[in-house]
Amino acid sequence: MKLTAAERDWFDKAMEAALPAGGDEGLARSALEAGAAEVFQEMLELVPAFTALGLRAGLWFIEFAAPPLTLKKFRRFSRLEQTDREACLAGMSKSDVYLSRQMATLMKMFAGFAWGADPEVRAALGYDRAPRFVKRKEIK
């Protein structure tokens, strides 16, 4: 099941907050540049439908529930400024509410999957073995 255009925008904004561009030299790629959206979409297609529904529900949680719970702002996550989105994910990670912490971890997990499997990041880290768990589809 493909992400809708709105869900893709929400996911992109979450990835920008989880792992933005501009890291250390050679590691400056963001989660989006590393293909996090493609990893998430592929995961949605490969896992059982109920699991895919849960992953999408996590995205909806972050979009609609996270800002009021963590920032006390009644705005959608994707409509926050970048600094507020980062603060929102950080607040979710430190929340007393288990579900909130897990939703932040979920988004960070996809950022990490993509970033760690990215050939440029791996080359910058000096890690030359092929990724074992994330297989890239050839893009034509």
Q: What would the two tokens of residue 116 be?
A: 């760690």
Which residue range(s) make up the domain with 49? 5-17+31-112
H-state helical runs in the chain: 5-18, 36-46, 49-64, 66, 82-93, 98-117, 119-125
Over residues 11-38, the pLDDT tens digits come to: 999 999 999 888 776 677 899 999 999 9
Query: How many separate domains does the chain show?
Result: 1
Q: What is the pTM of this model?
A: 0.84
Residue 67 counted as domain residue = yes
Residue 128 counted as domain residue = no
Over residues 79-131, the pLDDT tens digits come to: 999 999 999 999 999 999 999 999 999 999 989 888 888 888 888 888 866 66
Residue 23 counted as domain residue = no
Over residues 40-82, the pLDDT tens digits come to: 999 999 999 999 999 999 999 999 999 999 999 999 999 999 9
Residue 26 counted as domain residue = no
**Rounded to an integer, what distance in angstroms lies between the CA atom of residue 28 and that of residue 124?**
10
Residue 123 counted as domain residue = no
Residue 135 counted as domain residue = no
Residue 53 counted as domain residue = yes
**Rounded to an integer, what distance in angstroms lies between the CA atom of residue 111 and that of residue 89?**
13
Residue 122 counted as domain residue = no
